[in-house]
Amino acid sequence: MHQNVALVKTTREAVGDNVDIMADAYMGWNLEHARRMLRMLAPYNMRWVEEPVISDDLHAYAELKALNIVNISGGEHEYTIHGFRDALDLKAFDIAQFDVNRVGGITAAKKIADMCEANDVLVIPHAGQMHNYHITLSSYAGPISEYFPKVPVEVGNELFWYILTASRSPRTASSI
């Protein structure tokens, strides 16, 4: 726990107070651990903690959100509109981070984004694929999108990089 806090502290000190920082626990904490971690992370003014507990434990998400220490994001591992309806009914997330690939495509994702908007829940789709940007740009609930720079192991952003590089110059994506 102290090592994680030290990493967040170092990050905050490096970027200052005017840059958002977020952490992804990737479902690695149980509820008690998450409660303690959120309290320890409170001084660092984080934008959100993503997936603090196992994705199916919506009651734990709701409890962590109710602490009102740091925004709680989740939904990357939710696969249905019904699951998001349950999460919204329980007030489990401050930020919904569905993955368009996993929830049934753009139509299903747009329906989820509309439900989130109606419930005042922000939408920041998981990952940086182009289809996630379409959802963000089509919803008042979507203030930003996750962004992943081009790295050798990145998979799924090829179209994104092709469009960005094609709009800047005639170079191909492989020349960046």
Q: What is the CATH number of the domain that holds 6?
A: 3.20.20.120
126 labelled catalytic: yes
Q: Which of the following is catalytic: 77, 126, 131, 134?
A: 126
Enter the pTM of the model.
Answer: 0.79
Q: Is residue 161 part of a domain?
A: no
The domain tally of the chain equals 1
Q: Is residue 119 part of a domain?
A: yes
List the pLDDT tens digit at each of the 176 positions of the chain.
999 999 999 999 999 999 999 999 999 999 999 999 999 999 999 999 999 999 999 999 999 999 999 999 999 999 999 999 999 999 999 999 998 888 988 899 999 999 999 999 999 888 766 666 667 767 767 766 655 555 554 555 555 555 555 555 444 444 44
Q: What residues make up the domain containing 147?
A: 2-151
CA atoms 6, 9, 11, 14: torsion sign: negative
Burial of 85 (0-12, 13-18, 19+ CB in 10 A): middle
